[in-house]
Structure 1
Amino acid sequence: MNVEEFREYCILKKGVTEEFPFDEHTLVFKVMGKMFALVALERLPSQANLKCDPERAIALREMHDGNIIPGYHMSKVHWNTLYLEILSPDLIKELIDHSYDLVVLKLPKRVQKELGN
């Protein structure tokens, strides 16, 4: 999966916005104002950070040694960095969904309803 495919999948999700809050090279995706993904536009190989359940994050790092690592410049407990071109697109989509869902579950119930959850 390349950066554009990553972006296209993220923005399909309900309530998602994209912005550059840190610098012009780091695209951030938010659901209802809460960050769930970010991607470095100029980093090679392409990398993205996704939120992850802490136990699952550890398991993913062990299963995909070197291709999923603790979140770069993020909480190492709650974020993973993924190498996009190396991992399967299906796995990346699954992990985008997981990150999005984790953030949505922390939103107020009325907002979750607006999103269809």
Structure 2
Amino acid sequence: MKNNIIEYCLKKKGATKDYPFGPDPLVFKIAGKMFALIFDSKGNYLYLNLKCDPVIAENLREQHEAVRPGYHMNKEHWNTIIVDGSLAESDVFDMIDHSYDLVVKNLPKSLRESIPK
């Protein structure tokens, strides 16, 4: 599923990938702001950090064991999704969309308008 997640993130308008912290994690940005981080686990799972509205973040954590407070992030605004097969790929993609949309919404108008249509 890792390749699908990477491809999905890169299909977002204006998305770029970067390694600002070294070889791990892989970071996806829009206009220089992070919207997704992928950590390669030492075990069998992938860890995906995504920005999330605090109310929705709490609900997701209550509903899904694979959704936890953001690892090494502001735990109010970020979730870590353990990609272990317990969530449908479409649910993970919806969470990526939400993260991307939140980041874009908070960009200054000039930056939002510079994102390719």
Q: TM-score, normalised by structure 1?
A: 0.91
Partner Cα distance (2:77, 2:12) in 1 = 21
Equivalent pair of 2:14/2:116 in contact (CA under 8 Å): no
Equivalent position of 1:36 in the other structure: 35
Q: Whole-Å Cα distance in 1 between the matches of residues 7 and 75 of structure 2?
A: 26
CA RMSD of aligned residues (A): 1.4
Cα displacement (A) at 1:110: 2.4
Amino acid at match of 1:38: L
**Contact 1:25–1:42 (Cα < 8 Å) also in 2:** no
Offset of 1:116 from its aligned partner? 6.2
Shift of 1:15: 0.9
Identity of aligned residues (%): 46
Instruction: Work out the CA distance in 1 between the residues paired with 2:90 and 2:20.
Output: 28
Q: Find the counterpart in structure 2 of residue 60 from structure 1.
A: 60
Aligned partner of 1:41: which letter? D
1:8 equivalent in structure 2: 7
CA contact (8 A) 1:60 1:68 kept: yes
d(CA) in 2 for partners of 1:42, 1:20: 16
State the aligned residue count.
115
Tell me if the contact between 2:25 and 2:37 (Cα under 8 Å) persists in the aligned partners: yes
What CA distance in whole angstroms lies between the structure 2 residues aligned with 1:99 and 1:22?
A: 20
1:81 equivalent in structure 2: 80
Provide the secondary structure at the position in 1 that maps to 2:45: coil
Task: Name the aligned partner's letter for residue 100 of structure 1.
Answer: Y
**Number of the residue aligned with 2:25:** 26
Q: Which runs of 5+ in 1 are unaligned?
A: none
Structure 2: gaps of 5 or more residues: none
Structure 1 equivalent of residue 46 of structure 2: 46
Give the letter for the 2:106 counterpart: K
Distance 2:32 2:46 in 1: 25
